[in-house]
Structure 1
Amino acid sequence: MLIDIEVAAFVGGPRNLKDLLVLMGMFADGRHQWMPSDHATLAAAHSYFREHAPTIADSTIVLAEKALVATVWQPGQASMPLQINDADVRDATEDLSKAAVLVVEDLTNDGHFIRALAKIFEKEAILSALERKWLVIRHSGGERLEIVARADRENFSNIVRVFALLDSDKLTPEQQTKSHKKAQRLAELGIKVHVLEMREAENYVPNQILALCGASRTKSSRKITHLKKLTKEQRAYFDMKHGFGPEDQPARIHEKQIDLYLGLSEQTKNALCGGFGNSILKTFNEHSRTISSKVYDGMTINSVKEVKELLSAIQSIL
C-alpha cells in the first residue's frame, strides 16, 4: 500500500515511536511504500527520528526521498496514498502489519486462477505478496464465503484489507445470482468484492490451455474445434468443466440457457459433452507464462478491462 503519514504524527514526543519504527521497517522491506505528501512532512520526520531514533534517521530520509522522486501518483496505479492521521497511527500500524486476505470459494483452484492472471498481466507485486505471506488466500467452500469474509473483516480496525472473489454462476448475461447479493452485503461492510462477469473462473481460460486439459489431447483438440463455434456470449456462460452433460449421453441444455444456445448444431452440442475436466485452472497456472495478455482482447467485449480491474483491486489491499 502507498502510505502518507500526517505531519502531526512526527510532533510531540515519542508516543508514536514504536509504531512509526514498525512502519519504517515495513517500508524498508518493500511491504508498503511511504509517500510523504510534501517536504514539510519529510523534514518533520527527519527531525523526529534524529531526536528519538538517531541510528535510523538518515536511512529513513533516503527512503522517503526516493519515494518522492520515483513514485508520484498517476491514474492507473492501484490506489491513492492512504492517509494515516496522528490519532490512528497505532491502529493503522496493526492493520498494515497483518496479511491482506483474499477470500475465495476454492483455495486450490482459485489460487491457481489468481496466480495465472498475475503472471499473464505481470502483476509481480501480487505474486511476491503471496510468496512472502503478505497476502493469504482463504478457503471458504463457497456457501460459507460470506461468513469467512465477515470474520476476516473483524480482524481489521480502520484499514480493511479483505477482498472477496466470487464466481457469478450466471447462466445468461443478464442473470443476477446469489453471488451478487452476497457481494452487496459484503461491500456494505467495507470489504472489496469482485463477482466474475462470466460464469466461472474456468471461462477465463484461453483455448490453447483448454486444449491441454482432459485425459486425451486428441479429444480436447477436437472439442476446441467445436468450442470455437460458440459466440462470445455462449462461451462466457458455458460449463467448461462438464460441458453439456456426460460425454456418453446426448447433450442436455439447462432450461435457462435454451435461448442462449439456440441455433447451435446438435453435432457441436454433443461434441462438447464432458467438457474439459476439473484440472483446468491447475493447467492454466502451470502454463500461464506461455500466455500473452493479448489473448483476452477477443474473449469478450470487456474481458481485458475486467481482469485488469480485478488485479488492481487485489493489489490495492496489499
Structure 2
Amino acid sequence: MGTSSKFNAMSALIRLGDLPGMQAYAAVDFDWTQVGGDENITLLHFAIDCGKKSSTRANNLPVIEWMLKAGADPEQELPSDHPGCSHLCKRWDKKGTMIKVRYACQSPISLAAAWVEALRKVDWGAATMKHFSLVLSVIATAASAKRHKVAVHQAVMDRWESAREMTSTHNVTFETADGAITAHDHILMAASPVLQAMLQSTMKEGQQKQISVADSSGTGVSLLLDMLYTSSTRTDPDFKTMLVALDLAHRWQVQDVVKLLSEALRDMITTDSFSAIAETAALKGLDALARCCAAFGAKTAEVQAMLKNGSLPVSVQRLLQGPEAPSQQGAVAKKRRTF
C-alpha cells in the first residue's frame, strides 16, 4: 500500500476516533512524519484539526495521546511557504464567525496554541475552548519529555567522573563475567529502585554489598556505571556492550539510561547487529527502537533473506511480519483440549 493510501486510511480512523482501529492498523514502522490529505499536513496536525467539530471530538484527546506515544512528533513544523490554513465558523454566520489559523511554520504544539489563542478572542463556547486547552497541555507535556535535557558545565561532569574513578571509596562490588567492578552504593540506590531494595536487604547483596551479574560482560557493567555517574562515557562501546548495559538498566529500572542507550543504538543498526538489537527492542517493549529496526529490516535485502529462511528470532519475525508470525518456525499447532 502506498504512502498516500496509508495516510488516507489513518486519517479516516482519526476522523472516526477509532483508537483500536488505529492501533491495529499502525505497524511498528509507521511513518508519522508523512504529510498528505487535501491540506498536505501531518496526521498529528490533522488530529488536532479534528477537535474543531463537536461531532469528531469525543475520542479526539485519547487519539492524540496515543499518537504521541506511538511516535508522532509534537515539534515537526510544516514548511514556511505552506499556503493553507485551518478554519472554523458557524454555518449561519460564516463571515462574522470565521476563525483562521495558517499552517505555515506550524508544529502540532504551535497549532494547538494558535487555536487556544484564536478562541480566546471570540465567544465560541466553553467546550471547544476546554478541548483545545487540554490538547495543548497533552502535546506540550509530550514535547517537554522529548526535550528533557539540560546543559551541564564540563567541570561538573569532570567532578562526577573523578568520583567514579575513586575506587578506594567504593563499597559495592559487581561480580561480572570478567571480574570485579566497584561503585558507590548511594549512587546506585539513587539511580535504581531495584538496586536500592537489593542493597538494603538482608540478603547477600545488602549484607556483603556484592551483586552477581555473571551473565554480563565487565565492559557492559562499566558502561552502565559511566552512564549512572555522568550520562556519558569516554569509551567507544560496540553494540554488544551497549546491549549488555541496556539489559541491566532495563532490569534495574533505570529508565533514563534505558532511553539514552536505546537512542544511541538506533545509529548502530547494521546487517550484523540487526538481529540482536531488534530482539532486545521487541522483548523489552522499546517502541522507538523497534520502529527503527523494522524500517531498516523492511528495506534491507539481507534481513529479508534471513526472515524468509527463518533464521531470525521469533520476536524479530513478529516485529517484521506482525503478530500473526508463527511462534515456532515450521511448527504445527497442537489441537487445544478444553475441559
TM-score, normalized by the shorter chain, greater than 0.5: no
| Range class of TM-score, shorter chain | under 0.3
Question: Of the two, which has the highest radius of gyration?
Answer: 2
What TM-score does the superposition give when structure 1 sets the normalisation length? 0.24
Query: Normalized per residue, which structure has more helix?
Result: 2
Structure with the bigger RCO (C-alpha within 8 Å, sep 6+) is 1
What TM-score does the superposition give when structure 2 sets the normalisation length? 0.23
